[in-house]
Amino acid sequence: MFHREGYKILVSSLIGLIVINLLSNLLINKQWIVTTIFLATLVMFILVAQFFRNPKRHVKKNKKNILSPVDGKVVAIEKVFEPEFVNEERLQVSIFMSPLNVHVTRYPIGGKILYTKYHPGKFFVAWHPKSSEENERTTVVVETQNFGNILFRQIAGAVARRIVNYAKEDKIAVQGEDSGFIKFGSRVDLFLPVDSEISVSINDNVKGGESIILKAK
């Protein structure tokens, strides 16, 4: 199954693959070159297709758990001051997505969406210290029963140049359902209560909609 954000790109890529290979067959006499072109374009198409895959996840909805919003590796767990919405110190959990990860962003917890905003910005590599505040990004805040206001942020990187955010203010977020997509990258930050006892560690690999990041006390 492919994500809806990939349909146009996949169709365009497939058309491009067909055109390139038809032209190579018509214009090139050496079969080994034609075969090489076919294999190269096929590999490129497969890489693009796997990027937009959207495997079914068995989400166990639980208002006492905060789930990982994306697939990837936990690269940071640190106390920071969050100035955009909560204006207080929070525990930031950062999850980095490689080009091989599923890039669907899911709501980590259910509740009313209080705030959503897109910020144009730069394209530092995702692990750059300034990427959370200076890169292109979107911020979403969900009001929850057990954790207060939970903020999460999609962040573009050096490769990712297109963030899609489905969250709308005053709508209800459903835990585990799609909240957006980051095309070809990159990172998502969760901002949790500062006294949280996180269920993951640095370098842990997590799955969006399945891995538990935090349990209510």
Query: Cβ neighbours of residue 131 under 8 Å, at least 6 residues apart?
Result: 124, 125, 155, 157, 187
Q: 156 near 130, Cβ under 8 Å? A: no
Looking at residue 213, its amino acid is I
Helices (H) and strands (E) in the chain, counts: 3, 13
Question: Which sequence positions are flagged as catalytic?
Answer: 186
C-alpha to C-alpha distance for 102 and 35, rounded to whole angstroms: 30
Place of tokens 């969250």: 167
